[in-house]
C-alpha cells in the first residue's frame, strides 16, 4: 500500500482528470423563490392600482371643490303674505305670497340667484306636500327675511294694545320655522326691519308695540315720507358691523318702523343704535357665524347716494359667509 506522502504528483493529476467536473450553481445578487416573486409582482400591481385610484379621487375632489366654489350662490327670501279681505273678489280674494322687488334686486346685484320661499302645507287634506322648509335650508346657501307686517304680540307672549297692531301671526309661524331651519343648517341669515324684530323674538326677546306710545322722548322712526325718512346711526363699540366701515364713516339710514326691540333675546347682541333715543337698530345672534338683523331697509339705499349709508359691505359679508359655509 502506497502512503499519500510517497504518492507521485503525476498520479494525483491522473486521478483528477478521471473525476467528472463539479458544476457549482451560479451566484446572483438575489435569489428569490418563484412563489415569493409572484407575491411581490401582485403586490406591486396592487400598489400601482391604489396610486392610480387615489390620484383620480384627488382630481375629482379638486374638480368638485372648484365647482362648489364657483357655483352661483342661491339665496332664499321669505315671502310677504297678503291675506284676502272679507268680501273681496278676483285675485284679492286669494292668499298671495310675494316678493318686494327692491330686496331681490339688491341681492342679485352681486350676481346671486334669488328664490322666494313659500310657506308649505304638509298637513293639508287637499294638497299636502312632502316638501318641508328644512329642504329649502338644505339646498339654499342663505336666507333673507324681508320686511312687512308687524310681528304679532302673541308671538312674544303679549296681547295687542290696539287692533291695528295685531300683526300677522300666520307669517310669524312660517318665518320662525324658516329662521330656525337655516340657523340649524348653519346657513347665514339677514333679517330686515320686521326680520330683525322677528330674529329677536325667535330667541325669547320682546318688542315695543309702538315706539311713540311706549318710548317717551323717542324721535319719529316713521312718517309719510316712507323710505325718504331717516336718522343717524351709531355702531356699538367692537361691533362686527362697525368693522365693515371706515372709522370716520357718517352713518345715516332710512327709518320705516313704528315697532322696535324692547328686551333682547338669548345670545342676542346689539350692533347699532339710534344715538338720540337708543332705539336698537341692528343685532347679531352670537352663536352663529352670520345671523344679523337690520332695523332699516338697506335695499332702499342706492349705492353712491351721498346722505345714506352704503350697505354693500354688509351684503358682501353676508354673501361671503354663504360661500364659506357651503364648502
Residue 297 annotated in active site: yes
Q: What is the largest CA-CA distance in the chain?
A: 147
Question: Quick one: DSSP state of residue 218?
Answer: P
* pLDDT in the model for residue 121: 77
At residue 32, the pLDDT reads: 60
299 labelled catalytic? yes
For residue 271, the domain's CATH number is 3.40.50.880
- β-strand pairing of 291-294 with 280-285: antiparallel
pLDDT, block means (10 residues), the chain with 327 residues: 48 50 52 67 73 73 53 97 92 93 96 95 70 95 97 97 95 98 98 98 98 96 94 94 89 96 98 97 97 97 80 97 90
The residue with cell 273678489 is 89
Helix or strand or coil: residue 140? coil
**Per-residue confidence (pLDDT) for residue 302, from 0 to 100:** 80
DSSP output for 229-283? -EEE-EEPTT-TTGGGS-TT---EEE---S-EE-SPPTTEEEEEE-TTT--EEEE
- Which residues sit opposite 80 in a β-bridge? 98
**Which of 258, 297, 301, 311 is an active site residue?**
297
Q: Which domain holds residue 222?
A: 67-84+91-325
Question: What's the predicted TM-score (pTM) here?
Answer: 0.78
- State how far the Cα of 37 lies from the Cα of 242, in Å rounded to an integer: 70
- The answer to whether residue 61 sits within a structural domain is no
Q: What are the backbone angles phi and psi of residue 307, rounded to the nearest 5°?
A: -95, -5
CA–CA separation, 76 and 73 (whole Å): 10
Question: Residue 50's pLDDT is what?
Answer: 76
CA-closest candidate to residue 233, choices 199, 282, 186, 185: 282
Q: Around 156, how many Cα atoms within 13 Å sit in the side-chain half-sphere? A: 26
Q: Which residue has the cell 360661500?
A: 323
Give me the catalytic one of 193, 196, 221, 301: 193
Confirm whether 105 is domain-assigned: yes
Measured over the CA atoms of residue 275, residue 276, residue 278 and residue 282, the dihedral's sign is negative
Distance CA 264, CA 266 (A): 7
Report how many domains make up the chain. Answer: 1
Q: CA 88, CA 93: separation in Å to the nearest integer? A: 5
Q: Which of 281, 299, 301, 311 is catalytic?
A: 299
Within a domain: 291: yes
Running DSSP on this structure, what letter comes out for residue 220?
P
Rounded-to-integer distance, Cα 220 and Cα 103, Å = 24
**110 CB contacts (<8 Å, ≥6 apart)?**
73, 315, 316, 319
Which residue matches cell numbers 357718517? 250
Q: Is residue 49 part of a domain?
A: no
What single DSSP character describes residue 168?
A: -
Residue 289 lies in a domain: yes
36 in a domain, yes or no?
A: no
**Residue 317 CA: distances (Å) to CA of 142, 143, 155, 178:** 12, 13, 30, 21
Neighbours of 126 (CB within 10 A): 5
Q: What secondary structure letter does DSSP report for 306?
A: T
Amino acid at each position: 500500500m502506497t502512503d499519500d506522502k510517497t504518492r507521485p504528483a503525476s498520479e494525483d493529476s491522473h486521478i483528477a482528470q478521471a473525476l467528472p467536473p463539479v458544476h457549482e450553481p451560479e451566484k446572483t445578487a438575489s435569489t428569490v423563490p418563484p412563489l415569493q416573486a409572484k407575491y411581490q409582482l401582485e403586490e406591486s400591481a396592487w400598489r400601482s392600482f391604489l396610486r392610480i385610484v387615489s390620484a383620480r379621487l384627488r382630481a375629482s375632489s379638486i374638480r368638485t371643490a372648484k365647482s362648489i366654489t364657483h357655483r352661483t350662490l342661491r339665496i332664499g327670501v321669505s315671502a310677504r303674505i297678503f291675506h284676502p279681505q272679507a268680501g273681496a273678489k278676483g285675485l284679492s280674494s286669494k292668499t298671495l305670497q310675494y316678493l318686494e322687488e327692491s330686496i331681490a334686486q339688491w341681492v342679485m346685484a352681486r350676481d346671486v340667484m334669488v328664490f322666494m320661499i313659500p310657506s308649505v302645507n304638509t298637513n293639508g287634506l287637499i294638497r299636502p306636500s312632502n316638501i318641508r322648509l328644512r329642504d329649502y335650508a338644505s339646498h339654499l346657501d342663505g336666507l333673507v327675511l324681508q320686511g312687512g307686517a308687524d310681528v304679532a304680540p302673541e308671538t312674544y307672549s303679549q296681547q295687542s294694545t290696539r287692533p291695528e297692531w295685531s300683526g300677522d301671526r300666520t307669517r310669524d309661524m312660517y318665518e320662525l320655522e324658516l329662521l330656525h331651519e337655516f340657523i340649524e343648517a348653519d346657513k347665514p341669515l339677514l333679517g330686515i326691519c320686521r326680520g330683525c324684530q322677528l330674529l329677536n323674538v325667535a330667541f325669547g326677546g320682546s318688542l315695543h308695540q309702538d315706539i311713540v306710545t311706549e318710548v317717551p322722548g323717542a324721535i319719529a322712526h316713521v312718517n309719510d315720507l316712507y323710505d325718504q325718512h331717516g336718522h343717524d346711526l351709531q355702531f356699538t363699540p367692537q361691533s362686527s358691523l362697525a368693522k365693515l366701515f371706515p372709522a370716520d364713516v357718517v352713518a345715516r339710514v332710512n327709518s320705516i318702523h313704528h315697532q322696535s326691540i324692547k328686551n333682547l333675546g338669548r345670545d342676542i347682541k346689539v350692533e347699532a343704535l339710534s344715538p338720540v333715543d337708543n332705539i336698537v337698530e341692528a343685532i347679531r345672534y352670537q352663536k352663529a357665524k352670520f345671523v344679523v338683523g337690520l332695523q332699516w331697509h338697506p335695499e332702499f339705499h342706492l349705492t353712491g347716494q351721498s346722505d345714506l349709508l352704503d350697505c354693500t359691505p354688509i351684503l358682501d359679508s353676508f354673501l361671503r359667509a354663504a360661500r364659506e359655509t357651503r364648502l
